[in-house]
Structure 1
Amino acid sequence: MTIPNTERNFMLLGHRGFRGVLENTLPAFRRALKYADGIEFDVRLTGDRKLVTLHDGEFRANGKLYRVRELTYRELLRLHPHGRLVPRVKDVIKLSPEILNADIKDPEVVEKLIEKLERRNLLERTVISADNLGLALKIQRECPDCRVGFSIISARNLLMSLRLMRNVYSIHIPLDLTSYLGVRGVLTLIELYRRKGLRVWLWNYRMDELALLPELMDRADAVIADDPARVKRFISLQPIGIEATRYVG
């Protein structure tokens, strides 16, 4: 099973499973997969070189600041607010969703992640994304067959995305761009990427996703939803179009 390649397929993924208190944990991923085609998750490396699923590289506990990169996995389980719910990436990919989006937060995870995905025959249904140009290019070099996504998080890497995009599989556009470009401006940007042959995935940082998705999602190939249950209900209420064109694997 592979990620669909035609423009008319629409996919729904859970952003960190479900955004919120339990995001990037197995309970959040399992819940998301009741509604979504796949999951988006963040990948970091611990001090003892375990791949873990956490968005932030630092956290506070017991009045101290800890860095994930400096802790062993056992120490992370003991100190992190999620405690024993902090999953290893190998536990996440065992869920074997139809589609995975692994968002790389540490350049050193690339080789180990690719090995794990290949071992479970999941590489063809995974998009490995980054918001750093150098890291996106590193993924391309180390795995020419990988599907690489580039996430826009600032005006600077928006400009980079317009220059770099040879061999990139997808551009991940935040709904928050509508605050600067307006809906019409974001639609124009989407069409520009489409003319370059790129797939467009939408994601959210701080916006009300259902306030914007009705105007944007018909032009997108995927939505990485903070609340996939809510977005799934919205899609199911549409009279025609989106639900009919979704990927059914």
Structure 2
Amino acid sequence: MPSPNNEFQLILGHRGFRGHLENTLPAFKRALRYADGIEFDVRLTGDGRLVVIHEGEFRADGRSYRVDKLTYRELMRLHPLGKLVPTLNQVLELSLKVMNADVKDPNALSLLIGELERKNFLGRTVISTDDLSIAMSAIKECPDCRVGFSITCAPNLGLSLRQLRGIYSIHVPLDLVRYVGTRGLRALLRLYRKKGLQVWLWNYRMNEPSLVPKFIHLADAVISDDPARLKRFISSRRTEVEATLYVGKE
């Protein structure tokens, strides 16, 4: 899944743009002005609708509600974002070249694969998860699917490469540098690449412009909290490189 512009690694908007409107159509549409594609979270409502939302539980009016116990109508009425909570089909109606669908609910997996297949989106989608059992289920159910595994905690980092057999991409958080250092993270990314895994970096409250240049040569994609800022930064670096390459040439 190469970058459409074939110049830089893929840039995907993390939930579109991280913030109050993340995982909504406005955030996705804004992200697509700068990024190659988007990353979003998928869950299943109580009435069997695939919805794009990160948290499985939320509070409203002093009470806690679970997404998988609500109908879609109830979710729109009760959730703080209201009618901005999109269905998967609404997201698929966007002009998407690349998608990363992060499965948060194992019950959503089969429906997600079926919907992507019906709409001919499997070839442009990475289905990711931080749950190894969901990842293995996806590989078993859809051998042709691109399945990604996200490192979100220490046990995920400790998985052997044998356990990751069949995985297409490994999604590595930038904040891992806090624990293993720059040299350690580079070594880890090189190991994943050596074993044939695509490396997708993703951000969690880190300064992308300061960190991404240190690792981007070892990554195939960056899932960015602010794709506009990252795109501007990468473009400015490209201009600097071109100026260096062509200075003094006729």
After superposing on structure 2, the runs of 4+ consecutive aligned residues of structure 1 that deviate more than 6 Å are none
For the pair 1:4 / 2:13, whether they are aligned, the reply is: no
CA distance change for structure 1 residues 99 and 224 in 2, over 3 Å: closer, same or farther?
same
In the aligned structure 2, how far is the partner of 1:77 from the partner of 1:132? 27
> 1:111 deviation in Å?
1.1
In structure 2, give the amino acid aligned to 1:65: S
Aligned to 2:220: 221
In structure 1, give the amino acid aligned to 2:78: L
In structure 2, give the amino acid aligned to 1:4: P
CA distance change for structure 1 residues 198 and 114 in 2, over 3 Å: closer, same or farther?
same
For the pair 1:175 / 2:177, whether they are aligned, the reply is: no
Aligned to 1:138: 137
> 1:182 deviation in Å?
0.6
The two structures have a TM-score, normalised by structure 1, of 0.92
Q: Per-residue displacement from partner, 1:118-146 (whole Å, max 9, x unpaired)?
A: 11111001000000111110110110000
CA contact (8 A) 1:43 1:105 kept: yes
In structure 2, give the amino acid aligned to 1:127: V
Q: Per-residue displacement from partner, 1:208-240 (whole Å, max 9, x unpaired)?
A: 222211111121100000000000001101134
CA distance change for structure 1 residues 91 and 161 in 2, over 3 Å: closer, same or farther?
farther
In structure 2, give the amino acid aligned to 1:32: A
CA contact (8 A) 1:43 1:106 kept: yes
Q: Per-residue displacement from partner, 1:4-62 (whole Å, max 9, x unpaired)?
A: 29x98610000000000000000000000000000000000000010000000000000
In the aligned structure 1, how far is the partner of 2:226 from the partner of 2:2? 23
In structure 2, give the amino acid aligned to 1:230: R
- The unaligned stretches of length 5 or more in structure 2 are 243-250
What pairs up with 1:23-62 in 2 under 5 angstroms?
23-62=22-61
In the aligned structure 1, how far is the partner of 2:25 from the partner of 2:207? 25
In the aligned structure 1, how far is the partner of 2:115 from the partner of 2:29? 20
Aligned to 1:155: 154
What pairs up with 1:47-196 in 2 under 5 angstroms?
47-160=46-159, 162-196=161-195
In the aligned structure 2, how far is the partner of 1:167 from the partner of 1:127? 13
Percent sequence identity is 62
In the aligned structure 2, how far is the partner of 1:184 from the partner of 1:212? 13
> 1:115 deviation in Å?
1.2
> 1:161 deviation in Å?
5.1
In the aligned structure 2, how far is the partner of 1:8 from the partner of 1:177? 26
Q: Per-residue displacement from partner, 1:170-229 (whole Å, max 9, x unpaired)?
A: 000000100100111110000000110111000011222222111111211000000000
Q: CA RMSD in A?
A: 1.5
The two structures have a TM-score, normalised by structure 2, of 0.92
In the aligned structure 1, how far is the partner of 2:207 from the partner of 2:48? 37
- The unaligned stretches of length 5 or more in structure 1 are 242-249
* Structure number with higher relative contact order (C-alpha < 8 Å, ≥ 6 residues apart): 1
In the aligned structure 1, how far is the partner of 2:198 from the partner of 2:13? 18
In the aligned structure 2, how far is the partner of 1:54 from the partner of 1:144? 26
